[in-house]
């Protein structure tokens, strides 16, 4: 099949071992991102199969209308960026491997790196040293502090293991179902949502982005955090109420934050007020971006392509399309 891969910004994928799984297909890799729908459609006009690099490109009905040869779209994980109904209406099979039992080790490691960086204010200390100064104010030791994990999923549980190794106390908050599962597993769940935010020294959010989780963390939640506390977000920026994190940092509750995600990505505005806040540590959505993680993730995606090619599609989101063929 004619397979197109979008948004491989550093031309990484063709150099990973998993790329061999696409042998026999005609593969085109696009290493630069375009927003213009007409230009994007012109690139993909002959594509029979489209591979998405996470959520970097929205798949809209207007785009699909310009792609007459497209038969399947394949990706891994959640898909708020894909108009599944539009795919179904146009007979395009959408497949996504949700990797139910495999946490993102890369994202978990970055989360804990940001926890450490925030506690010791690493980027601020480095910037001060390079400016000709010496030490800034003392940082925080993690041992004995309380890490609050919002969301009882695979990544959060992985982060909890790291925290416990560092001698931290771990407290949980999640949906009603998530809290139930946490308690069944013998985990400590906060007495209330307000107590969770108010008592934890560090809060890290690990929730999937869905319509009902958008804006779930509010300014009111952040405003009860300690002035000495840190807020960590390596999941999705839209989980936080728009403008709430900047307002909370400006008010000093919490006193620190570290994020890997932004409302608009790629963020290319060096004057962005959140990015420039002195108490924020920021990374450019690199939670999943390691060679090891990408090799594993794309091996799963290439398996979707090959399954479709032999007439046995797997991990179908709109299977009625295939059943109607």
Q: Could you list the active site residues?
A: 236, 265, 285
- Tell me the DSSP string of 205-264: E-----TTTTT-B-HHHHHTS-TT-EEEE-S-GGGBPTTHHHHHHHHTSSSEEEES--SS
Residue showing tokens 């010791």: 120
Taking the alpha carbons at both ends of the chain, their separation in whole angstroms is: 18
3-state SS, residue 202 = strand
Q: What tokens were used for 170?
A: 């771990």
Partner residues linked to 5 by β-bridges:
29, 51
The CA-CA-CA angle for residues 74, 76, 78, to 5°, reads 110
Cα atoms found within 13 Å of the Cα of residue 281, Cβ hemisphere only: 27
Q: What tokens were used for 151?
A: 């969301």
3-state SS, residue 123 = helix
């Amino acid at each position: 099949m004619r397979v197109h891969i979008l948004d491989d910004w550093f031309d990484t994928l063709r150099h990973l071992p998993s790329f061999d799984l696409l042998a026999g297909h005609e593969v085109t890799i696009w290493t630069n991102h375009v927003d213009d729908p007409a230009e994007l459609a012109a690139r993909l006009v002959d594509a029979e199969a489209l591979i998405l690099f996470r959520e970097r490109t929205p798949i809209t009905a207007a785009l699909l209308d310009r792609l007459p040869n497209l038969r399947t779209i394949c990706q891994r994980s959640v898909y708020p960026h894909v108009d599944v109904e539009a795919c179904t209406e146009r007979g395009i099979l959408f497949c996504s491997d949700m990797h139910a039992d495999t946490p993102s080790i890369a994202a978990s490691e970055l989360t804990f790196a940001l926890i450490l960086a925030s506690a010791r204010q690493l980027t601020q200390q480095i910037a001060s040293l390079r400016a000709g100064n010496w030490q800034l104010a003392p940082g925080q030791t993690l041992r004995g502090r309380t890490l609050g994990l919002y969301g009882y999923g695979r990544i959060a549980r992985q982060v909890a293991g790291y925290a416990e190794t560092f001698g931290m106390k771990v407290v949980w908050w999640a949906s009603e179902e998530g809290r139930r599962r946490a308690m069944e597993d013998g985990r400590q769940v906060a007495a209330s949502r307000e107590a969770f935010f108010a008592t934890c020294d560090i809060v890290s959010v690990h929730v999937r982005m869905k319509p009902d989780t958008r804006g779930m963390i509010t300014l009111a939640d952040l405003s009860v955090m300690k002035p000495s506390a840190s807020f960590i977000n390596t999941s999705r920026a839209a989980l936080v109420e728009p403008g709430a994190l900047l307002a909370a940092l400006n008010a000093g509750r919490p006193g620190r934050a570290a994020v890997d995600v932004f409302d608009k990505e790629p963020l290319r505005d060096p004057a962005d007020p959140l990015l420039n806040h002195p108490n924020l540590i920021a990374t450019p959505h690199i939670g999943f971006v390691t060679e090891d993680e990408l090799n594993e993730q794309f091996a799963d995606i290439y398996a979707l392509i090959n399954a479709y090619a032999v007439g046995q599609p797997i991990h179908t989101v709109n299977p009625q399309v295939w059943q109607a063929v």
